[in-house]
Structure formats: structure tokens, C-alpha cells
A = this chain, B = another copy of it.
């Protein structure tokens, strides 16, 4: 009966753990519960994984396989920016569909801790931003663009998980805000003067507070009166 090669038990343990995690995302889970589900005792689990973290790592690895499986097919438009959009959406969708996995991967916040498997999607993303940079489509360094995308993408996904509520409009808005920022292709609404006001406000330290205030007032007057808006 136990002639299975490649350790059937090992995979069943991973599956059982994944099920338990999926059943109560973000919550802690008991190794004994995992063992009971498989019908095995704890030393067996420890034989395969060495520690609870070992099992968790294996589950995460398993989760990333699922994730990258879904994701890989989506990023082949040829246009790196479009691929970044697709990757963003796939990221959010995976997090909302698998909050248990996602929480393990990105929801355990402590300094200096990031599961090894986390680097794989990160590599893909950096490949995309590097390609975009090569095509001259970024106004920031490729590395910073990738960091920006990742932080915002994770942020909006975790937020939706915490609120237990999907918000596709928010995700889209943040996605486009991010892409606009790294490509410098923002759409300005009020014309260059309104934009200049915001730039001035954002860099109040350059001219100093009072000069900046006067500058902004002048620009506002100009904006109201100028024929070329």
C-alpha cells in the first residue's frame, strides 16, 4: 500500500495544511490537525519538514506554483507596460481568491522576513521593468519602478483582504497611478498651471514656505485670468 514513490504522504500533508489554512485565512493552524487530517502522527510530519516553518515554506512554495501557473500565461503581450498591468491584476486576483496562501506569503510582517519563494514573482516583475527601461518608457530607475509596483500591489491586495471586500475600482486606480508615476505619463486635468501648483506644493523646501505660498497664489491668479489655460 505504501509503495508510492516521491512521498505521497508529504504531498498529502501539504495539501491538508493548505486546506486548513484556506479554511481560516490568516489564522494560525495546528500541526496536529494537519496530522489528523492525513491520519499520521507528528514525527512523520517532522521527518518531512523538520519544523512548522518548514511545512509553511513548503505550502508557500506550493501556493506560488499555483500562482505562477495562473500568471505566466497572462504576461506575454509583448508590451512590458501592458504585461505589468496584467501582472498587477493577476496578483490581486490571486490574493483575493487565495487569501490563505496570500497571507502566508505577504501578510506575515516582521523585519527581515520574506519567504524565499517570494523572490520568484519579484524577479518576473523586475524583468518587466528592466525591459520597459530598455525601451525608454520609464522616468525612474527600473529597480525603483519595480519596488513601487510591488509595494502598491501588495498594499492594495492586503487591504482588500483585511476589509474582506474586493474593490476593483480602487485596484485599477492604484494600478494606473503607479504606472503613470513610473512612466511619467500622467493626465493632467487643470492644465499646466494647476499641475505646477501641485509640483510647487510638493517641493516647498526648495523655495521656502513663504515664497512657495506666494508662488502658489500667483499661479492661481494666473490660472483664473490667463486666456491660455
Contact = CB atoms under 8 A, between A and B. Distances in A.
Contacts of A110: 25-27, 103, 107, 161-162
Interface stretch (A34-42, A60-68, A185-193): A185-193
29 contacts: A25-B110, A26-B111, A27-B110, A85-B202, A99-B111, A107-B110, A110-B161, A111-B164, A139-B229, A148-B170, A152-B152, A155-B159, A174-B178, A176-B202, A179-B202, A183-B189, A184-B190, A185-B186, A185-B190, A186-B187, A187-B195, A187-B199, A192-B199, A193-B199, A196-B219, A199-B222, A203-B225, A206-B221, A215-B218
Contacts of A185: 186, 188-190, 194-195, 197-198
A11 to B, nearest CB: 26
A181 interface: yes
Given A199-B222, A206-B221, 11 more contacts: A85-B202, A99-B111, A110-B161, A140-B173, A177-B177, A184-B187, A192-B192, A196-B219, A199-B228, A200-B219, A203-B226
B198 A196 contact: no
A177 B181 contact: yes
Interface of A: 25-27, 79, 81-82, 85, 99, 103, 106-114, 139-140, 144, 147-148, 150-156, 158-159, 161-164, 167, 169-170, 173-174, 176-181, 183-204, 206-207, 211, 215, 218-219, 221-222, 225-229
A167 B187 CA distance: 26
Residue of A114, A151, A167, A228 with highest tally of chain B CB at under 10 A? A151
A187 to B, nearest CB: 5
B181 A176 contact: yes
Contacts of A195: 185-188, 192, 195-196
B180 A181 contact: yes
A142 to B, nearest CB: 13
A24 B13 CA distance: 31
A212 to B, nearest CB: 8
Contacts of A144: 169-170, 173
Contact of A177 (B162, B169, B180, B204): B180
